[in-house]
Each structure stands twice: as C-alpha cells, then as structure tokens.
Chain A
Amino acid sequence: MKLRPTLSLAAAATLALALSACGGGGGSSAAYTPSAPPSGSPATTNIVGLGDSLTAGEQSGALLGAPVPVSGSLFPALPPTQEAGWWAQMWSSANGGAASTAVLPVIAGAPLGSMIIPGATPTQLTSFPLQSCSGAGSQNNLSAFALGSALQTRANPSAAPFDLGVPGMLAHEALYMTGPYQSACTIAPPTNVQQGQLNLLATLLGAESLNFYPVLGNFPGKTAVQAAVSLHPTLATVWFGENELLKFVGSLGQVNPTSPQQFQADILSIIQQLQQAGAKVAVGNLLDPLKAPAFIPQPGLQTALISAGVPAVVAGAVTPAIQASLQSTYGVGPNGYVTLSGLRKIALGLPSTTPALGPGDFVPDALAAATEQQLTALNAAISADAQSTGAALVDIYGTFNQLFQAGAVPINPPKCCSTQFGGGLFSYDGLHPSNTGYALVANTWIQTIDGKFSLTIPPVSVSAAYATDPWAPH
C-alpha cells in the first residue's frame, strides 16, 4: 500500500519531463522504409525490445506496419501502428530519427487482428476486416498461424526484427513458448460443452498465436528471450505483465496465469539472461488496466451510454435499472466495471434493462479488487527484480496514474488530450495508447534509461506525434 504514493511522486516527475518534450525536438514519424537492421552499433543503437502488444505497437486491436487503403471509412487508409509505438519512437530518437521500421517486424497489411476505425460517420466505429478469419482483408490473419506462411504477412520477411514484442504474450511465455497455441485462425463451432469451454478460453488466451510467428518467425524454435539474446543487444527493454492482469480479468478470475512469485522469477530470469548477453536492461512496471477507457466504472455508465449515442433522456431513465441488474446478476457494483464490449451489448439491448453479458463484458467488484491486488503484487515483483539486478525501473504505473488522476494533459487544449475514450491518449480499443500516448510512454522510458545508464537519448516530440495521430482529436 505504500508503493503507490511513492510511485505517484516519481510519476509526477516523469510526466513533467515527458510533457516537456511537447514543444520541441525533431519528429520521429518515419516513412515506411523497411531496411536491414543496424550493425556495429554503439550502446544506444542496438536496442532489443521484449514485451507484449504495448512494445509491439498495437493500436485499436491490430498490428500494422504500413498504411493500407480502406474504403467505407473516414480514414483514407488504415494507419500503421508499429512505428507509432513507444518502442519504435524511442528507437528512432536513439538513432537520430532514423526509420524505426528498420528494426520492426513490419506487417505489410492488412493488419494482424481487426483494426477499429471510424465508419462512414464520426460516431460510428467499425472493424477491418469485419471478420478476422474470413472475407476481404483476412488473408494475413489466416497466414499468421503457421511458420511456413507467417512471414508472408511481413514487408520485411528476411529481416530479423529487434522489436520482439508479441501481442498477448506473458513473461513466462517469453521464456518458454516456441510456437503458437492455436494452429489456425478459425475456431470451429463447439460440438459439446467442453469444446465450447475451450473455444471461450481460446478467445481469452490464444492472442499470442496470431502474432507469434509473424514476429518471431525469423527465429524458428527460439523463445522470445532466446531470440533477443541472439541479437546481442547493448540495451534491452523488458515490459511484461499487462496480459497477466487482462487474462485474469477477461476470464472473470478463472484464469490467473502467473502467480506473483512465478512472475518475479520469470522477470528475473529474463533480465539476467539479457544482462549475461551484455545488455543494459530497463524493465517497465504496469499501468492499472482498469483505469484505461476500455473499462467503464459502473457509476459512469450513464455518461458512457450517452457517449455511445444513446439519447440522454433514455440513458437517464434506464441506467438505474441497468445498474441494479448489473449488481444483482453480475456482481458489478459501485466498484465494478463494464467493458466496451459490455457497453455495446447494453446499448444494443435497450430498452431492456437486464443485459445479457458474458466473460470480457464486465468486471465484478470482487474481481476488480483482486485485480488491483494482483497489480500491486506484480509491480512489487518488477521493482524487486530491478533492484536485485541493477536494471533500470521504468515507472509506467506512475506516469499513467498521474494521467488518470488528472484526467487530461494539455497538448492541444481544449481538443486534446484526455484519458477518456476518444480523448486522444488511447486508441479505439481503449487499452493501447494513441501515437500521442505512446510518445509519453517513450519519454518515460528514455528519461529513466538516460538517468540510469548515463545515456543521452533525446526525448521524442509529443507534439509531433500528436500532429499526425489518427486516434487523437484535432
């Protein structure tokens, strides 16, 4: 319980520094120019990133390295996400603004996953492709599950990437996983109760399968950590743990993939292996996922319904009954949450005030409390590992906690940016940051790395990231 105030103070300082870069510095929005990774690098150049979707640069539910034209949307093209991620922004800043795509596993498009984009009207969101495993735009998703075809999804299939972030990956998986859980994109309809359970679990646990080979296909048979070591990094970033929390939440507490003790041992092993390979290591702690806009506090349901397009009069009339139903049926009280998918089901189910929700649609009060406990434990584990190994501890929790408490950061007031859905700091999935949000994350990493290892990586320009940020209001 003493950890959070400490972290918050540190976060305030970090955030101040991160925001100080808003007005200056060269932009890092690189063009899509895949090339060979650098060689003969100085200490700040040969950076390897280990992590999950945050390190990979996922946004709005998808991973994409190149813009892809799309029709029927307010977007002229699906925006690339990977080079907008914090890791790519940091790499570019560390390498004089060079193209970050040189060290990314560039997904050529269509994206891996289904990207959430504006539809024909500003208030309408849609997905591309509409169906991940069938129809137009789904070929990459179909190809991604097999080693023999996964690299076809890449624009640079022969280049060994230095950003090894695999969306969905856990720390334990980074140490031991050498292949995907699922062998195909399509999940067959269940023929019995047990298969139905497996299918449900697959949707909660199998996210790594879609992204594993496209990212690590250049290192067949290797784990993510082994692949990182093989790249002989001089600087390595390690950021795991959000999926440990999200899978716990998404399964309604039924899946708790990693105990804090195991997590601490895993992170320790990862750090030590990288250090033994000669790398300076920075490890990030975890932001509170329940504070992200993907999770709507139950007391804020009425406001969220209005934001989702429900007339205010209707929202005001039905919200008390819906809240009562959430409490009695799902245990979602004043300290619980409804997710974006749950909000959508509630809105589409109106005027019914007894929504039918499933796993991933809500977070009961008890589960929310357990998740917070787990967050505290995992962050304590990361802190202990950093202290015992001499790794740099990057206080992501503090940065975001400061943002969540403030609710907004004045990047282009009054238009931008807030932590609310569509407020500019998060992409449309409500979990992954926007370009602007990733820039703040990048500067948190840079500030800590520079301070710990006496390096001079310049901060990225938050204002430049915002200027071309498709997820932020302008």
Chain B
Amino acid sequence: MLRRFLGRTASLTLLGILCAALPAAADSGIGSVLGDQLVPSANSAIKAAIREQSLHAADVAQVPPIQQPAKAPAQTGLPTGWTYMADFSAAWSLGNTGASNKLPGGVDGMLAYGFSPTLRAEAAYYEVQHYPVGFNTGVVPVYVQGVANPIGTQDLSTAGIDVATKDKFTLLMLEHLITIGHKLPIVITPTYVSRTSMIGGPDDKQVVEANGFPLQIQARTVQVQALALTLPFLSTPKMFGTFTIAPSWLVHRAGLNVENKAQVYSILYLEYRPTDRTTIFLEPQSSRDYLPADVYAQHLNSYFLGISHRLTRNTFVQAVLNSGGPSNYKPYGLTGIYCQQLVPCSKQAITAGGLHATQLQLQFGIGTPSVLPF
C-alpha cells in the first residue's frame, strides 16, 4: 500500500503541480513546465525505489511463513502499463491585472506507458491562460519609429490591445530509473516540449520592434529539449524531498533570440503528508528560459505551494498558490507601444518587460489510480 501511496501521490502531485503551475509557468517560462512535469514523475519512481529497498531489507529479516498467502506485488518503481489522467481547472489571479482579473484555466491530459518499473514513456498536453500584470491599469509611453522620445502616453485599459494569452504545451518524456550502488535511486528523463500559444486571437503572431523596425514573430512558440536528473535528499514516513537539475536547449532559435546556450533549470521539491489522502508540498524553482520575444534568456524564479487531496479511487482535488517572474526583465508587463507605421499609426509593436503572475488554482481530475495522488 505504501508503494502505491507513494506512487500515486507523486504522480498526481506531478500533474497537479504541473497544471497549477502553468499560469505562472507561462510567465516564468517553459523551464517551469519541464520541472513541474519531471519532478513529480521522478519523485514517484524514487519513492518507490526507496520503499523497495526498505521492504527488501525487511524480507531478509522476516521470511514469510510457509503456506502464508503471498501479498500482491507492490509497485517497485515507475507505474507500468497504461496510465492516464485528465483534469480541468479554474484559477484566480492574485496580481494586478486590472479589469481582466480572470484566469479561466484549461483542460489537461496525460497518457503514459510503463515498459517496466525503470522505463516509462509519457505524452502530455496542457493549456493555460494568463494576463500580463498591470495590463488594464497601466499607462505606458507611446513611441514613433525613429523618434527617441515618446509622443505621449496611453492608458492600456483603453488601448484596444488584447494580450490575453493561452499557452499550450505538448510534452514527450522518457523516464529511466537507475539505482546507484543499490542505495541511491535517481531518475534521468530526456524530454521534448513543444509550446504554442494564442495571444488576443487565434495565434501568437505579434509585431515587436527589433533594431528599431517591425518584426512579426510567434511570441511564445518554442520547442525545447532537456535532459533532467532527479536526486532524493529526504525520505521519511511523513516527508519527502528531491532536487532536480535539467540542462535544456531550444531546438532552434526563434524571433529575437541571438543565442542558444544550455540553460539550467533547477527545482527543489519538499512534501509533507499529514494523512494517507493528503499531501502538502512546497516547490521553489529557478530557471533560465528563452522566449522568441527575448534576446537573451529570462532568469526566472518562482515558487509553488499546494495541497492535494484524494476524493475517491480515481478522483482528486488540488489547490496551488504560485508566484513567479523574471528577475532580469523589468519592469513587469507591457511597457511601451511603438507606432511602426507613421500614418496612420496602425501597425503597432508592443514592448513587454518581464511577466509576473501570482495566483491560486483549483483543479479537479480523474485518472489511473497509480498516477493519482496517494
């Protein structure tokens, strides 16, 4: 039971964190998505491996008596066979987004197949919506191409610019559990993430100013590949913790990117289980992440604080508070409007600093018991 408990907790926490994190992750980047997906799944396998070690030691000391029925084999690592999960969520922004203080959330889904307790392939799809902080309450300068000084200011609440954003992520992962020296279980996860988005319309095509001239880019469409390594540092009956480090690269540069150096994503995960059905977790993160609108990688810091509770064998509910934003792209939100076509000022480019979100998300989901919380 404990193994299943650990596995389900980690797996559901994984998805819960991932889904809950996305609104902020949309702000804090694809690195958070990578981490939120990788960490709980890896945690699941590590917990199971640690549990197996302790059970193995107990088996040696206490051989089952003859004729005693054997227990059903407990899960010893990654879930095997087919597993799935789906959920829908709603979110409430706690940041300053003015009148558009709504984050509708989205739907998510995951399908995985475990070849063995040490090898598992997983595909997932997630979507989330968000708004830049201060969008509807800010007053930003208006520039004309070729003119250094702004010609005036514009209240964004009346600017007629829609930057409501829905991000969509597709992830492909191959998880591999390795136990070093029969004592230290680690998980290595090659991962591919494809991100698309819609910004105020059917796609994320936006005009940005590059070197003083208009350039249309897909502002949030990127593909990333990563290689993650997850290590445990704490394991007690009530608590568990891991650290994950994941170097990542863009599959190719896009938009304003001028480089594609390896960006290291790191995440600390710590959970406390007050009951068999409930888990409280804290997850501070730090990552470097490229978006097409950025010349250089954003330096992203964020945290997630959540609680998961299993309702039935196949259902769960989870609430997560998260907050994050880049430390090297300030000020936050939309910071300027540029007229790229002088007469009329119809072709506009907007300039955004870092995007920051603080929000609470509530989600309800179903799934295979082995990948649900607990």
Contacts and interface: CB of A to CB of B under 8 A. Distances in A.
A202 interface: yes
B145 interface: yes
Contact of A172 (B211, B339, B345): B211
A181 B344 CA distance: 9
Interface in A177-208: 177-179, 181-184, 187-188, 194-195, 197-199, 201-202, 205-206
A194 B152 contact: yes
Counting contact residues on chain B (CB < 8 A from A), the size range is: 20 to 34
Most buried by A among B144, B151, B212, B343: B343
Contact of B341 (A173, A176, A182): A182
Interface string B323-363: 00000000000000001111111100000000000000000
A184 B342 CA distance: 10
Interface stretch (A48-56, A155-163, A249-257, A425-433): A249-257
Interface string B279-316: 00000000000000000000000000000000000000
A256 B211 CA distance: 16
Contact of B343 (A175, A178, A182, A255): A182
B295 to A, nearest CB: 15
Contacts of B346: 183
Contacts of B343: 182-184, 187-188, 198-199, 202, 206
A256 B145 contact: no
Given A172-B211, A176-B211, A254 B149 contact: yes
Nearest to B344: A188
Nearest to A187: B343
Interface string B188-228: 00000000000000000000001111100000000000000
A257 B142 CA distance: 16
B144 A198 contact: yes
B339 A198 contact: yes
Contacts of B212: 172, 176
Contacts of A291: none
Determine chain B's interface SS by DSSP, over half rule.
Answer: loop
B1 interface: no
Contacts of B152: 194, 197
B148 interface: yes
A202 B210 contact: no
A247 interface: yes
Nearest to B345: A198
A202 B342 contact: yes
A228 to B, nearest CB: 17
Given A182-B342, A202-B343, A176 B210 contact: yes
Interface string A241-253: 0000001000100
A205 B147 contact: yes
Contacts of B146: 170, 181, 201, 205, 247, 255, 257
B162 to A, nearest CB: 21
Nearest to A262: B212
A181 B211 contact: no
A172 B210 CA distance: 12
A206 B151 contact: no
A181 B145 contact: yes
Contacts of B149: 254
A256 B149 CA distance: 9
Contacts of A179: 214
A201 B151 contact: yes
B151 A194 contact: yes
Contacts of A199: 343
Contact of A255 (B147, B211, B339): B147
B153 to A, nearest CB: 10
A197 B151 CA distance: 8
Most buried by A among B148, B213, B346: B213
A220 B341 CA distance: 18
A198 B342 contact: yes
A204 to B, nearest CB: 9
Nearest to B149: A254
B342 A177 contact: no
A257 B340 CA distance: 14
A169 to B, nearest CB: 11
A181 B341 contact: yes
A176 B213 contact: yes
Contacts of A194: 142, 151-152
B307 to A, nearest CB: 51
B151 A198 contact: yes
A172 B147 CA distance: 13
Contact of B148 (A184, A209, A255): A255
Contacts of A201: 144, 146-147, 151, 342
Contacts of B340: 181
Contacts of A187: 343
Nearest to A175: B211
Nearest to B148: A256
Interface in A76-133: none
A442 to B, nearest CB: 30
Contacts of B342: 181-182, 198, 201-202, 205-206, 209
A173 B211 CA distance: 9
Contacts of B214: 179
Contacts of B345: 195, 198
Nearest to A197: B151
Interface string A217-233: 00000000000000000
A194 to B, nearest CB: 5
Nearest to A259: B148
Given A198-B339, A256-B148, A178 B344 contact: no
A264 to B, nearest CB: 15
A177 B341 contact: no
Interface of B: 142, 144-149, 151-152, 210-214, 339-346
8 contacts: A173-B213, A178-B213, A182-B341, A182-B343, A205-B146, A205-B342, A256-B148, A257-B146
8 closest pairs, A vs B, by CB?
Answer: A202-B342, A202-B343, A176-B213, A176-B211, A181-B342, A187-B343, A205-B146, A206-B342
Given A176-B210, A206-B342, 9 more contacts: A170-B146, A181-B342, A182-B341, A194-B152, A195-B345, A198-B151, A198-B339, A201-B342, A205-B145
